[in-house]
Chain A
């Protein structure tokens, strides 16, 4: 009997926690379809007009989305080149200061982004005339590198380097070994790191808000600015839009590399 009571108790706690996690999202998604000028729940009627508002040029959301995608994708792609090479060199060779170097590569993760943004601002003002897109790009490029390095290293730590010898003995030259063996085996780590890095960049507020110029503003900053002035269901609509986007990304990810990479 006692055991059963414990079970019911933990079930209730578990259900409550899950509700707590999902309920706000559900409320926002449903409320985004309201025709009223303020967010109400449950919505009074059904309308897609706030969704239209996302796409209208007056909100600049689409422009922000494009900026965010540009920065995020470019920074992630370049960081894959940089981060994977860094991870490979640290993992492949045994040398003094190996861990120190690895910590150095991942250090941007431990620096508060506000402090980091302040430093960058100082540098930019010394140089002068750095365009807005570049200001944000450099910041994101540095701050997301650790995610790619760390996830790649976590795969390479257990990488069986004999695989490279085996491929070599079968006639694969160093370039073939790299692209047919090393990269495919390390791919789950690289993809997981790239995804986390991209999402971090896409979602980044602190750094971007300090570095952005009126001419180049990313989506999160656009949303924040909009929120300060107006508080209409457009915000619920754009939130729903972003939630759906993340969901699609997660489903794709699970299909191609499996999500167990993130649970480790």
Chain B
């Protein structure tokens, strides 16, 4: 296996900078997620690592050695493509054996390694099928087997789960993680789905417009996004504008549309009193309460969306912005009903406006 290092990697197409001065180091056996919306540069980064695109600036090191001069077919990087890219004129066996045949291995060894990898992805017995005769989930596992069978130094996964239905997606998340950890292969996964990123990766990198916004453990990224942009991308639903005041003991007050909310001093470190700030909080962390208290706002329900395990409410009239609590069970609450929303101070993320 191998380490992967990107140093100041930059890719420009004419005036457009797709990837801007990106640096990162993946340890041996680590799984890193590149997370971002479409056009954030994550796929371009992947293509440069694979050798399909040439960096405008910067270097790519595998095990400390620069790979710029190595053509893509000699890089020994396994790639899983978003549309699977299975060869339609070959059977499952031939697809998986393709890379091994190019390595000029002996027939019995090829047969053995294909059989091993197919049993690893639980596809034993489907060798003679053509890709068009397989379900989406099966095709995906063939693609994964094909990328792994050549024992690549590095595995690149491009949106591996985007084409699957919800149930299969969770199954495959578990499978991919099991196989990746089992083989101990350094892996970069590209995705636009924050849940996929945090559930698969050891580290998550959030990208936007070619730049790295934040690098951190899944937990850090999920709970403590470093900017309002990352928070929005990670599924924070309620954003409240306000002006922060000086510390009052452990807490600092924030005036939001005339209401006072308290945030922990630690969450607002280094922000000067009087600065305009954005407070961000997840729906699940907002609570409906019966009694007035600190950090409790009163408003009326303006929308109710039943989502199965949760019900998402939109509450207006408490601050200028809409507050969106998600409650855990089906709620009898009606449109126009007045409610009290409690915002737990420890759950609030504070960002200085720029």
Contacts and interface: CB of A to CB of B under 8 A. Distances in A.
Nearest to B150: A170
A169 B102 contact: no
B58 interface: no
A39 B92 CA distance: 58
A142 to B, nearest CB: 32
B87 A169 contact: no
Given A173-B73, A184-B89, A167 B98 contact: yes
Contacts of A165: 50, 52, 72, 79, 81, 85
B87 A181 contact: yes
A169 B79 contact: yes
Contacts of B349: none
A170 B146 CA distance: 8
Contacts of A170: 73, 98-99, 102, 146, 150
B79 A171 contact: no
Interface string A145-187: 0000000000000001011011111111110100011001101
Contacts of B77: 169
A172 B72 CA distance: 9
Nearest to A176: B102
Interface residues of A, number: 19
Nearest to A166: B85
Given A171-B150, A173-B73, A160 B83 contact: yes
B309 interface: no
B78 interface: yes
Most chain B beta carbons < 10 A, residue from A169, A181, A184: A169
**Most chain B CB within a 10 A radius of its CB, from A167, A170, A171:** A170
Contacts of B73: 168-174
Given A162-B81, A176-B102, A167 B87 contact: yes
A176 B87 CA distance: 14
B85 A168 contact: no
A162 B85 contact: yes
Interface centre among B50, B74, B87 (most CB of A within 10 A): B87
Interface in B49-103: 50-52, 71-79, 81, 83, 85-89, 98-99, 102-103
A185 B89 CA distance: 6
A168 B89 contact: no
Given A171-B73, A171-B102, A166 B89 contact: no
Given A162-B81, A176-B102, A168 B72 contact: yes
B52 A166 contact: no
A169 B89 contact: no
Nearest to B81: A162
Given A162-B81, A163-B87, A168 B52 contact: yes
Interface in B92-143: 98-99, 102-103
A169 B83 contact: no
B130 to A, nearest CB: 13
A3 to B, nearest CB: 37
B190 to A, nearest CB: 14
A167 B89 CA distance: 13
A179 to B, nearest CB: 12
A258 to B, nearest CB: 12
A170 B86 CA distance: 12
Q: Which of A171, A173, A176, A187 has the most CB of B within 10 A?
A: A171
Interface string A168-210: 1111111010001100110100000000000000000000000
A171 B146 CA distance: 12
A188 B103 CA distance: 29
Contacts of A163: 85, 87-88
A2 B87 CA distance: 51
Given A160-B85, A163-B85, A163-B87, A169 B98 contact: no
B72 to A, nearest CB: 5
Contact of A171 (B85, B89, B99): B99
B76 A171 contact: yes
B76 A166 contact: no
A171 B72 CA distance: 8
Contacts of A166: 79, 81, 85-87, 146
B89 to A, nearest CB: 5
Nearest to B79: A169
A174 B51 CA distance: 13
A169 B149 CA distance: 12
Nearest to A165: B52
Contacts of B72: 165, 168-169
Given A169-B50, A171-B99, A185 B88 contact: yes
Interface string B22-50: 00000000000000000000000000001
A173 B99 CA distance: 11
B166 to A, nearest CB: 25
A184 B102 CA distance: 17
B41 to A, nearest CB: 18
A172 B75 CA distance: 11
Contacts of B89: 184-185, 187
A165 B71 CA distance: 12
Which 10 A-B pairs have CB atoms at the shortest separation, nearest pair first?
A170-B99, A166-B85, A162-B85, A169-B79, A171-B102, A184-B89, A168-B73, A168-B72, A173-B73, A162-B81
13 contacts: A162-B81, A162-B85, A163-B85, A168-B51, A168-B73, A169-B50, A169-B147, A174-B73, A176-B102, A181-B87, A184-B89, A185-B87, A187-B89
